[in-house]
Amino acid sequence: MKMSMLSTKAACNSHGQDSSYFLGWQEYEKNPYDELSFDLLESWLENNPDAAGFKQDGDSIFRDLALFQDYHGLPAFKNALVDFMSEIRGNKVKFNPDNLVLTAGATSANETLMFCLAEPGDAFLLPTPYYPGFDRDLKWRTGVEIVPIQCTSSNGFRITESALEQAYKQAHKLNLRVKGVLVTNPSNPLGTTLSLYELNLLVNFIEAKEIHLISDEIYSGTAFRSPSFVSITEVLMDRKLMDSDVWDRVHIVYSLSKDLGLPGFRVGAIYSNDDMVVAAATKMSSFGLVSSQTQYLLSAMLSDKEFTENYIYENQTRLRKRHEMLVSGLKKTGISCLDSNASLFCWVDMRHLLSSKTFDAEMELWKQIVYKVGLNISPGSSCHCAEPGWFRVCFANMSEETLEVALTRIKTFVDSITIPDFHHHHRSRKSLTKWVFRLSSKVREANDR
């Protein structure tokens, strides 16, 4: 009876919150750890009490900020944000603040673009594996469909021309009109940047098909080793496409959630060269504004060039160190990772630990690791990976000490399900269903702290 009183949208189960990706984070949130470079932000706030206290030249401006908000955004903040975006890209490209639309995070930015570019029943093509939240962000309220661009481990999950064409044909077989392609660069979950070949391939594809391209670049500041991150804007400029139709059909999503580690501030943005998209998105942004107080504080922070330069460098240095620590630790356990250079994750290959080459076996392994070992990882199936046995592991949300504990836990787990075969110099599996987790003394001591 109660369900019949609700709208179809409220009663349906299409939000995706029951995905294994979100279930894993629910377990993590019961016992979360510290973010990577938050101390740098706290230090800046301590040294800039006027900004943190909403003061200007010693006088409070709290009343002004609290009583008025322009949904176009504070000019000082938009100027500081586009400068920060350029700085992350090595100042190889410049951005016009008039082309920027502020949103309540990248989630809102991506959904707003769907409303601007597509009708219910239209489709966007996404390379796999992709961020599980896109099933919610792009589809839930808009009615837009996702058609996967199937990428495989045979070439490191790189986008190919044949995969693009196959996805486009698949959409038409499903009677879906393709409105565009959406990519995440750097990738979540792969932890890789798109190559110049892939970026040019995408530009060629949307030019030929006369469709849109959304480049979600919220991890653009996280490239911690070569090859460096290249924005889609740089590719367009190098190809001198500024006066072409393609220039207006490429849109960038950005956020301070990852590069600055401020997901709770809900600061996202759409950057588009299409005036109609900017106008429509600006109107829609009134449903998810960034508070004036937040904009004022961050405009002061991002305008401090000494701080931003140091933060970007130090954050990338810490990411590289933490990444190397995870990869080398897993390697000692017999687990390898996809070669990566950016983002906050490793794409981890555990295919050899599966009881069978199936997604059921992947889920069996995932449940053991999340609920018994106590590590939050995401199964590849939640990211729509076509091959069972791959997992996303985040390394940036814990201290070095915690990462050591995590590596100890996974080693104990792997040792408990494998036994050495001295005659054949390889390992054979024991049944996962008979596995009983034995917490090492080191992990037990860590939990007791």
Q: Which residues form the catalytic set? A: 131, 216, 218, 258
Residue 190, SS3 per DSSP: coil
Cα separation, 295 vs 302, in Å, equals 10
The Cβ-side half-sphere exposure at 443, using a 13 Å CA radius, reads 18
Query: Cα separations (Å) of 295 from 51, 95, 260, 309, 325?
Result: 11, 18, 14, 20, 36
DSSP code of 94?
-
Residue 207, SS3 per DSSP: helix
Closest alpha carbon to 143 in 189, 97, 93, 177: 177
Cα separation, 377 vs 384, in Å, equals 15
DSSP symbols for 27-44: HHHTS----SSHHHHHHH
Cα separation, 430 vs 424, in Å, equals 16
Determine what percent of the chain falls in helix, strand and coil, rounding each to the nearest 5: 50, 15, 35
Query: Residue type for 37, please?
Result: S
DSSP code of 375?
-
Cα separation, 240 vs 245, in Å, equals 12
Rg (CA), the chain: 23
- Cβ–Cβ contacts within 10 Å for residue 43, how many? 13
Residue tagged 């100890």 (tokens): 408
Cα separation, 281 vs 403, in Å, equals 41
Residue 56, SS3 per DSSP: strand
Cα separation, 55 vs 412, in Å, equals 53
Torsional sign, CA 294, 295, 301, 302 = positive
Residue 379, SS3 per DSSP: strand
